[in-house]
Amino acid sequence: MTTAKKLEELSIKIFADGAEKADMLALAKEPYIKGLTTNPTLMHKAGVTDYAAFAKEILTAIPDKPISFEVFSDDFDEMERQAHVIASWPGNVYVKIPIMNTKGESSAPLIATLSAAGIRLNVTMILTAKQVQIATDALDMDVPAIISVFAGRAADVGIDPVPLMEQSMKIVAKKPKIELLWASTRELFNIYEAERLGVHIITVPPSVLKKAKGIGTSLEALELEGVKIFYDDGKAAGFTI
């Protein structure tokens, strides 16, 4: 009988990814959820209108788990100002900084400045080992940080993200305070892929986490379940040949 480990049995840290307040608060109570992440896109889709008020409310309600909030400027000086504001909020906050702005200009100098100032960063929207190296070089050796590699986005365009994550793990290993994060998770199995590679963190949206209730179901049981579904649907449709 083939079954998978329960999420709480895995070594990888699972972070909930989203911006729906009810989901964030509920998932934060789950012992297998070790942190949370969000971004301006998710917050906009969730109908958030007051960024600071929403963030402070979440950070106050969930003070004991790391939560990443992202800057939303395209100007590096303004990014720096926003980063200091976010870092001053209560709770266990990380500041998300994109690896570049919309002009393709590197955020490395800003990352170096903020990290040297002791601000815990989540360097985000990375899709190449080159950018992982740039981010790693810019981060302070003694300040905790996260590097988020969007493995799911690579898979969306037909590229196997596993070699990228393997290479990224070797790069970040040079600075023990850095944790590598598998971002843009598309399916539950991605958690087990990331676990097998030794990736430190994976972000998972509520829609994928809901599938966790099926963990522990054997493949044999799924076979029988599927056969029954096909049979019942064929009978309900009244098909004849």
Q: What CATH number did the domain enclosing 161 receive? A: 3.20.20.70
pTM here is 0.94
On whether the CB atoms of residues 132 and 163 are closer than 8 A, the answer is no
Instruction: Determine the 3-state secondary structure of 205 from DSSP.
Output: coil
Residue in 2, 12, 4, 66 with CA at minimum distance from that of residue 212: 4
- Tell me, yes or no, whether 20 lies in a domain: yes
Query: Does residue 222 lie within any of the structural domains?
Result: no
Q: pLDDT digits over 124-180, tens only?
A: 999 999 999 999 999 999 999 999 999 999 999 999 999 999 999 999 999 999 999
Q: Is residue 221 part of a domain?
A: no
pLDDT band at 201; cut points 50, 70, 90: very high
Active site residue 96: yes
Considering the domain boundaries, does residue 150 fall inside one? yes
Containing H/E element for 59? helix 51-61
* pLDDT for 67: 98
Indicate the average pLDDT of the chain: 97
Q: Which of 96, 103, 130, 170 is catalytic?
A: 96
With respect to residue 146, please indicate whether it lies within any of the assigned structural domains.
yes
What angle, rounded to 10 degrees, do the helices at 21-28 and 51-61 form? 20
Dist CA 71 CA 22 (whole Å): 23
Q: Is residue 129 part of a domain?
A: yes
Instruction: Give the largest Cα separation in the chain, rounded.
Output: 74
**Which helix (H) or strand (E) element contains residue 69?**
strand 67-70
* Residue (of 14, 3, 5, 43) closest to 209 by Cα position: 14
Distances (CA, A) of 118 to 114, 138, 178, 180: 7, 13, 13, 19
Q: d(Cα 185, Cα 206) in Å, to the nearest integer? A: 11
pLDDT tens-digit series, residues 32-57:
999 999 999 999 999 999 999 999 99
Q: Would you say residue 224 lies in a domain?
A: no
Range of the domain at 135: 9-213
Tally of structural domains, the chain: 1
116: helix, coil or strand? helix
Amino acid type, 165 = M
Question: Residue 163's pLDDT is what?
Answer: 98
Say if residues 27 and 50 touch (Cβ distance below 8 Å).
no
Contact yes or no for 191/204 (Cβ under 8 A): yes
Residue 223, in any domain of the structure? no
| 3-class state of residue 97 by DSSP | strand
